[in-house]
Structure 1
């Protein structure tokens, strides 16, 4: 899968992977429908950073969630 190309399918894949990796409790807030292709580059950058790490501190999790919130439509 080529995630470097913005598409609805890639947005869905990235959001699903982030939910799994971060073990998001409120998955309804992380529906892929809430994210558009307009901020795809930022979403992809966040995805690559998250996938490289094994664990996150509480403050890092808070920053990640805040960034995801800012990327929502």
Structure 2
């Protein structure tokens, strides 16, 4: 998938992949529609970091969720 384009489909793909990788219950509340294209690069950075890691500590997961929360539309 070409994530260099800021499309709603790419946002949805990245959010779903992050949720699948983290497998956290509170991730169910995060939807791709909560993010706008202004924060696309930040979301992509989080996606790339999450995909590269094989496991996460609880504090890392909390930090990722917090960062995703800061990227949500106001």
**Structure 2-normalised TM-score?**
0.92
Superposed displacement of residue 24, structure 1: 2.5
Equivalenced residues, count: 72
Once superposed, which parts of structure 1, at least 4 consecutive aligned residues long, lie more than 6 Å away?
none
The alignment partner of 2:25 has SS state of coil
Long gaps (5+) in structure 2: none
Counterpart CA distance in 2 for 1:70 and 1:14 is 16
Consecutive unaligned residues of structure 1, counting only runs of 5 or more, are none
- Provide the C-alpha distance between the structure 2 equivalents of 1:51 and 1:14, rounded to a whole number of angstroms: 10
**Counterpart in the other structure of 1:33:** 33
